[in-house]
Every structure is written in structure tokens, then in C-alpha cells.
Structure 1
């Protein structure tokens, strides 16, 4: 649930991940579908038989801020940890639900309040110790405990226990349809109980998981190196021996590393660069639909933005269709909601129309004097965000305000976001699970751990709606509840929705098997290098 940065891929800081910061995707939302673009003059076709071995360099736009799955909220950490820790279930190939992972199967009681998970046998942590039911119980209790940033997703769990050597039961206080989806969250990654209880700080510095890779080294602000987990439970995976992940926050520098062959993968490709990379003879671009929203987040603690009429005026003042066309180069769809586009989304909810006259009228009604200063915070290393900010600046100026763009580096942007030290902030957020309720809860729940995605939004009707909505038992009821929240959220305007963009990743000619799922992280266990 991060928000901040180049490619809106940082959940806003918190996948839930909200920083998930710079700011779903293309209209139609064939969730999780991938398009790997290889034009006729691009890389030549490779033998599709995976090759085991080799080292890969993946230039990243975000530096991980932590390695403990229950405490991280930034996408730089979250995307990494999905390759170090496994969960009972994992988001499926088309991102519409989940598939078995550490749980080989599960059953649900007739009344929908008891789940029994049968654990996969023979699973070991990266240090070679066996994974037990006790580890699973400990991990889930930790994910829903007081120190977890994501306890709200597991609030209906009343008991987790081992019923036998290889089974675990989870009991909820009432039927709660999003639970299985929520168990795919990184915070529910299974950790070794003994290691965490022995020294949680040491574990957070050098984590041990059951995922395809282990953290071989970490130099904060510089590079993370992953090495193959030799005890990984999937036969033959991962293919790669090692993955070096240098932190390259500047878009231009990251693309230069890719073009020079110094990196074989580069995340957060600027929209203006995507078409050019497609035509490069030795490069490719992977475009994957994502549960992401790029937006300007409004801080309700600012006297200027506490008035809904002002927030609505700022939305009317910006030509978001023009931004999607000219800045995003068609890699995105106009956003008609204040959370990412997911299942249950309604195309009938209207985006704010570009109407400078309406914007000026709303500002006048709110008593805002002409020339009022409005700071806009943006990531200086994100080319797409900087260009977007310039278009926004022009629109707000036409409405009679005095916008001031403040460019800061990514780390500073994250710090100021979390401290709510901003008035308006251009960022992005991404969902962490396939359930469509996570992001509305993070945004509107009265007890949101992100304080309304760092906006401090206060709306009792919306907070009641996101508390009741997930409890509906039929898909039709869920959809109606989601669409009501979608419309109410647009009326409230806690942010200026800009785009539902895809994840865009640059690839070297030899990279095979790469893809990002709807939650925007990548399955690096399937990546291999053609020889």
C-alpha cells in the first residue's frame, strides 16, 4: 500500500503499502494480464526451456525500509519480501483470487466461521529448519497482533491453533469473505517462531523465510542482494543463483543502467521511455495490469483543504484525460475512484470533468482568495510524476491559485508523507491483496492505520460503509456495497484521482519468465536468463 515515486508503485507508503507513493490499470481490467512487448526489431526469440543458474541485476526505484513483514509499509520492502517469505495462499496467475502455497488445501465450515488448513509437507526455512504448524500459528498471531501494521485485515479472527502436526485452524467471529484473500498478504508470511522469539531485532536485520530467495546482504541506500534458498519447497525453483538489487531512484540513471547492460531488469519505467524501449534491439518492456492508483493526496489537516468544495475544485481544475493521453502515453486509464480499480468496480461512476469555470466557482463559494498559495510535493526522481505535476500546476493556476511545486528525493517524500508534512502530495497507491476492500478500509476506516492514507479524511458515512461492506456474503451484495463506497469516495474527494496505470518494467534481451501480478510485485522465482 505504498505511495510515492516514479512508477506509482510504492502501496502509498504504507501496498497498504501506500507508498506504494508516486502517484489498477487499463480499462477492461483483465486483472493481472501481462503484455510483454517485443517488436520485430526487438530481442530475437529464445528457446523457451528454462535455464538454471546465473546472476541478474535488477535496478530498483525504491530502497527497502525494513525486512520484518509485520512492520513494513513501503513497496520497496514489500515487493522484496514477497520473494523471501511465503504465505498460506498466494495471489493467483490472473490476480482474481488466491491459490494454495504453504497450505496445500483448506476447508471451510458450513457456517463460514472455521477454516482448517492442511500444510504442505517437507517445507523448510532458508536456514534448513523445518516449518511446523506452531510456526504458522505464531506467524498469524503476529500478523494480527498489536505490533502489526496490518492487524485490521485480520480483526475478525478470534483464534488460531494447531489441530494436528500438519493442520492449522483459523476461527472468525462471523463469516468474513475477504479472509482467504487477506491471508495472501506479506504480513502473514510464515516466520520461524524460535528465531523471532530469540531475537526479533536480529531477525528483522537478517530474516529467515520459506520463500524462493534469502537476503544475502543489505547495504541501506545502496543495494540488496538475494541468493537462492537451497531449501525452497518448489522443485527446480528458483532458476537464478543471485539477484543484485541496486537502489537507483533517478529514472534517467536507472534507464541508462538498463541500456548499458549494467542491469537486466529495471522497475518503474517512465511512460515516455516505454515506447522507445520497445523499439530497442536488445531490450523489452513488460506491461502488467495493476491494482494501482496515481493521485494527488490532500491533507485535511491543512486549513485550505479541509473544505470539500476546495478539494472538488482542485479536481475539476486538472485535465486528467490530457495527462493520461500526453504524459502517460496511453499507459493508463482515467481514474474514476479514489482507490485502485479492482473487482466490483463500476464504470458508471464519473471521473471529475475538466471544468476550470466550475473550479473557480467552488473556490469562490469556499471563500478562497485569488492567488492563494498551494504547495505540491513531488518525487524529483520520477520523470512521469514531475511532468504530471507541471500539468496540475497549470490547471490550478488557471483556477486562480498560486501552486508551488516542491521537488524532493524519494526518501524525503516518504518521510514527509508518513509525518503528514505536506498540503498536497503527488503519489501512488497499490493494493496488497486481491480483496477489493483493503484500500477502502485503509482510506476510510475510522481506525485506519494509515490515517486515511495520510490524508486524515473524516467521513462517518464512509467509515461505516467500509466496516459493513466486507461482511456481505454474496458477490452481488459485495459489488453494490463497493460501488456505493466508490461514489461516496469521489464525492468526498480526499484526493485527485489521475490514472489507473499498469506496472511497466524494462527487461534485457536475455530475461525470461518475468511478470508482475495485480498487486504489482514480481515472481522472481520464475525468472531465468537465456544463454
Structure 2
């Protein structure tokens, strides 16, 4: 997938959300965390935050309150994709392999894994002493049940690999055999949707289980209001000994970004998820606040519904791409916390072509000439759907509106509450919308499949964009081993997208989280999620 965060960000991102060892992680760093995250039980305890304003020793215990723009509505990891749920699910359920803050694939619940030379057999050996939060032992049968349930359910982040068999060779060894090679498989196993849960839901019904989920993650659900706040408590059986350092983690619903900043400054929350790029320096320079950042797997985009009578016309889409000054928009709105996007794939993802692709750059004369080739040479009136409560998105919409007007296209901005925004684009009830796409693992296919497969869950990210050559290249890329040949496939695919513009990439934003200066050890992941197990709060 590409997990999408419908708010910002995902996704919005709805988000997302998604969902992205590769031997070639060329340029996959992009990280602005202070130090690389280690695997095992000794992860870095100071990543991404500036604690120089307070030199008191860090403390264990306490509560970290995190402001988020949307509530958590479900823990069913196989049926969810949006960031509001994904970034709660990953605190309870963990996968066999994961990625660190640099985007590197690392063993997680598995202490080791091997892949056969033919790319068909994947063998995972579980860590010793691994337990679920209720104290029961984690076995390979639990992993078989979890992955089989994902295969059966499918869901928005369905396992695309053709699995021939799942087998627990013994209590600690899981063997997955594929029918044919699928290069993204190991990367996709890092998705939150591939977390491990107890065999047969631990003896309760699915409904009961997901109301009170049991996993291996650092936290367990203590109190949960699907329309409001969520309180996690420390998992006493967490496999990383002594962690998490905090006793509780609270997700506090704050739907407006200005309110979130005010609560952060006042110390009512310890961190906020949705920090508009325009507010980043204000928070960073505050007397008691700072920011935790990382490069991201996110691409901010203007999406077109290709079922719409206007945006089904390729010349209309190309005309808008040429009318829009993406460089100017990025400089005006991101304050140095983003890079102009020419291509769909962010620079931190292998096989991105941002520096080599032939993009439709700002050219008003060319934009007018392109519109003249369309069925609407004299222009038209349309609507742009935006989620309310995000000041950056609101300004993006105004800049796009002004650019469209220069070539005779009148855009009416339709700002709606987040839940309505999601409902609308899930139902194709939009002409154009602002949203962001993101990978959920460090793999090009994670974004490309989500945004180009017309038969997939998202129907090309709800654009319903369909191009047989793109679909062919997508499948070829999935089966081709990493290397120059796979790079050429993805370069061709990205160029077609740049030429036909079912969506206009705008910029690649950094992940920016506002935090109190008293916070240490917060790890920002490039998919926008956070790791809280190393967090300490200074007294």
C-alpha cells in the first residue's frame, strides 16, 4: 500500500496507509533522527529530539500524552489502512521483521530469517522467550494463524505474494513458500498489517479479541473510546527487557492543528502528530518545545478522479500540471521541510526518479496550449475536496485554485470535516482532492501498486486510473529481482505517470512531530509512525 493519511497525512493522509530488503536501499536514509536505530533490546534512547534546553536526567515511568487529529476506530490489523488506526495497531501488534528509522529491514519478532536463492522459500526463527502481553508464549503456530488470516481476509493491504504454503516446522520456526518469486515480499512483511496475534484469537471471538487485543507490542489497550481518546498501558511482558520506559501512552483527540499547538505549548500534551510545516520553526524555537523529524516515504499530491467528465481528459490533467508552479508552492508552504516532487516515489525509496524524470514543469503558455487540445478549451468550473483543520492543505488549495484560474479553470474549494472527507473519496464523490500517498515499507511497489493498480483495493488511490502498460510494468517490477533491470521498469512506469498525471506530485514533506523539550528517545519512522518504547520524560 501506500498508507494514506487523510488528514494531512498515510495520509492522510487518509492517511494512509502504507504500505512499504531490499538489497538496494540506495538513498533510503532520508532520516533526520539523531542516530540510527539498533535492533534487539538496546535501541538508541535519543533520536530526533533536541533536549539541550533541559539537562536534568531522564526519568522512567509517567504518562506520554500524544495529540492526534483522528480517533482510533479499530484494531483489526487486516481490515485497516488509515493512519489513525495503523499507528495504534503497531503499538499492540508487531511483525516478524520491521524497519528502523533509516528504512532498513531488521529482524523483529524473528531473531533471524533466510530467503532461498530462488526467492521462493522464506524461513523465520522466533526470538527466545517471546510472549504475548497476557503472558502466553508466542509460537510459530501463532505466526501461521496470523498470516493465514491476512491471506483469507485480504483487506486494504492484502498480501500480494502467491503463497503456496505456511508451515510451522517446530515451535519457533516458520516456513513460507511462494508459488512464484515476489521481490517485495520481505519488505511488505514489515507492514503493521502483518503483526502477529494469538492462534485462534486466544480462544475468544474476533469481535471480542479486537475490542481487547492481545499482542507482543510495547503497549496494551487500557481504555478506549472509538470516538475520542485511547489510553495504553505498559506491556509487562514486552520482549525488549525494561521497555517501554513510560507507564502509559495516551492518544488524545485534537482535531484542529492550532489547538494542538496551543496544548503543546501549555504542556497539556507531550507531543502532537499533525504539525503544519509552517508552524515547525515556531515550535522548534519555543522555550519548552521542539520538533522530532525524519525524512519520509510521503508524497503530497493533487489527485484527480478520472471518472469525472473533466478529469477523464488527459489534456485537462496535463494543463493543470503545467499551470502549477510546484517549486513556488513548496517554498511558500514547507519552510525548508520538504523537497519539490517531480515523481511519485519519494527520494528515500529505492528506484525513485525525481532527479531524472521529465516532468511537466511550470509553463503557463504550454498549459493553455494543452487545455486547448482538450474537450474543454474554454475552461470549466469544478471542485477541489480538502479535509478541514489543516492550514497547510488549505493554503495548497488556494495556490492550486489561483494557478488554475490563469488558464480558465474555476476551482471551488470544498472543505469538509475529516470523517466526511474519507467517506467522500472512498465513494468517488469528488472531482479532485488534496491528499498524500505514502509507502508503508521501504519498497517502490508499496506506493506504485497502491496508486496504479485499477483492480486493487484502492482502485489506483480512488482515481480509477487505468493504463494497461502501467499494469504490465507494475507486475514485471514485482517479479524482477533487485538491480538495474528492475530500476528500468520502474523508471518507465514513473515516466508514464508523469506524462498522464492521474495525480500531480507536489512535494515530499519531512515527518515533523512537535514535542515538549522534556521528551527524550522518541523515534520517528519514515512512514510517519513513532516508536515510544525508548521515550523518557525529564522531571
Q: Which one of 199, 202, 210 corresponds to residue 205 of structure 2?
A: 199
Contact 2:140 2:168 in 1 (8 A): yes
Q: What TM-score does the superposition give when structure 2 sets the normalisation length?
A: 0.92
Deviates more, 1:344-353 or 1:253-262: 344-353
Summarize the Cα distance change of 1:165–1:28 in structure 2 as closer, same or farther, 3 Å threshold.
Answer: closer
Deviates more, 1:476-485 or 1:510-519: 476-485
Residue 489 (structure 2) pairs with residue 481 (structure 1)? yes
Summarize the Cα distance change of 1:8–1:149 in structure 2 as closer, same or farther, 3 Å threshold.
Answer: closer
Counterpart of 1:430? 438
Counterpart of 2:9? 8
Deviates more, 1:365-374 or 1:52-61: 365-374
Summarize the Cα distance change of 1:486–1:46 in structure 2 as closer, same or farther, 3 Å threshold.
Answer: farther
RMSD: 2.1
Contact 1:162 1:168 in 2 (8 A): yes
2 CA distance for matches of 1:127 and 1:402? 58
Shift of 1:8: 2.3
Summarize the Cα distance change of 1:421–1:167 in structure 2 as closer, same or farther, 3 Å threshold.
Answer: same
Summarize the Cα distance change of 1:164–1:3 in structure 2 as closer, same or farther, 3 Å threshold.
Answer: closer
Counterpart of 1:131? 138
Q: What TM-score does the superposition give when structure 1 sets the normalisation length?
A: 0.93
Contact 2:10 2:82 in 1 (8 A): no
User: Counterpart of 1:79 in 2: which secondary structure?
Assistant: helix
Residue 155 (structure 2) pairs with residue 188 (structure 1)? no
2 CA distance for matches of 1:393 and 1:93? 36
Shift of 1:150: 1.9
User: Counterpart of 1:57 in 2: which secondary structure?
Assistant: strand
Counterpart of 2:43? none
1 CA distance for matches of 2:453 and 2:430? 21
Q: Which one of 35, 44, 55 corresponds to residue 46 of structure 1?
A: 55
Summarize the Cα distance change of 1:13–1:467 in structure 2 as closer, same or farther, 3 Å threshold.
Answer: farther
Counterpart of 2:310? 304
User: Counterpart of 1:217 in 2: which secondary structure?
Assistant: strand
1 CA distance for matches of 2:111 and 2:124? 8
Counterpart of 2:217? 211
User: Counterpart of 1:311 in 2: which secondary structure?
Assistant: helix
Counterpart of 1:234? 240
Summarize the Cα distance change of 1:3–1:188 in structure 2 as closer, same or farther, 3 Å threshold.
Answer: closer
User: Counterpart of 2:331 in 1: which secondary structure?
Assistant: helix
2 CA distance for matches of 1:111 and 1:51? 49
Contact 1:43 1:281 in 2 (8 A): no
Shift of 1:9: 4.3
Summarize the Cα distance change of 1:161–1:409 in structure 2 as closer, same or farther, 3 Å threshold.
Answer: same
Contact 1:11 1:432 in 2 (8 A): no
Residue 529 (structure 2) pairs with residue 530 (structure 1)? no
Summarize the Cα distance change of 1:428–1:196 in structure 2 as closer, same or farther, 3 Å threshold.
Answer: farther
Contact 1:335 1:351 in 2 (8 A): no
2 CA distance for matches of 1:37 and 1:108? 33
| CA-to-aligned-CA distance 1:279-311 (integer Å, 9 cap, x gap) | 111110112101001111100110110111111
1 CA distance for matches of 2:73 and 2:85? 6
Residue 457 (structure 2) pairs with residue 449 (structure 1)? yes
Deviates more, 1:368-377 or 1:272-281: 368-377
1 CA distance for matches of 2:72 and 2:344? 26
Contact 1:117 1:169 in 2 (8 A): yes
Shift of 1:382: 0.5
1 CA distance for matches of 2:197 and 2:48? 38
| CA-to-aligned-CA distance 1:432-471 (integer Å, 9 cap, x gap) | 1111111111111242111111100010000111111121
Deviates more, 1:331-340 or 1:135-144: 331-340
Counterpart of 2:120? 113
1 CA distance for matches of 2:377 and 2:535? 56
How is 1:26-425 mapped onto 2 (pairs within 5 angstroms)?
30-34=29-33, 44-46=53-55, 51-95=59-103, 97-151=104-158, 153-195=159-201, 198-341=204-347, 342-346=349-353, 347-425=355-433
Residue 517 (structure 2) pairs with residue 509 (structure 1)? yes
Counterpart of 2:466? 458
Summarize the Cα distance change of 1:316–1:171 in structure 2 as closer, same or farther, 3 Å threshold.
Answer: same
User: Counterpart of 1:448 in 2: which secondary structure?
Assistant: coil
2 CA distance for matches of 1:362 and 1:495? 16
Contact 1:250 1:382 in 2 (8 A): yes
Summarize the Cα distance change of 1:288–1:7 in structure 2 as closer, same or farther, 3 Å threshold.
Answer: farther
Summarize the Cα distance change of 1:163–1:407 in structure 2 as closer, same or farther, 3 Å threshold.
Answer: same
Deviates more, 1:419-428 or 1:7-16: 7-16
Contact 1:295 1:428 in 2 (8 A): yes
| CA-to-aligned-CA distance 1:348-386 (integer Å, 9 cap, x gap) | 113321112222221121121535111001111000000
User: Counterpart of 1:358 in 2: which secondary structure?
Assistant: helix
Q: How many residues align?
A: 519
Shift of 1:112: 2.3
Question: Structure 2, unaligned stretches of length 5 or more?
Answer: 21-25, 35-46
Summarize the Cα distance change of 1:429–1:64 in structure 2 as closer, same or farther, 3 Å threshold.
Answer: farther
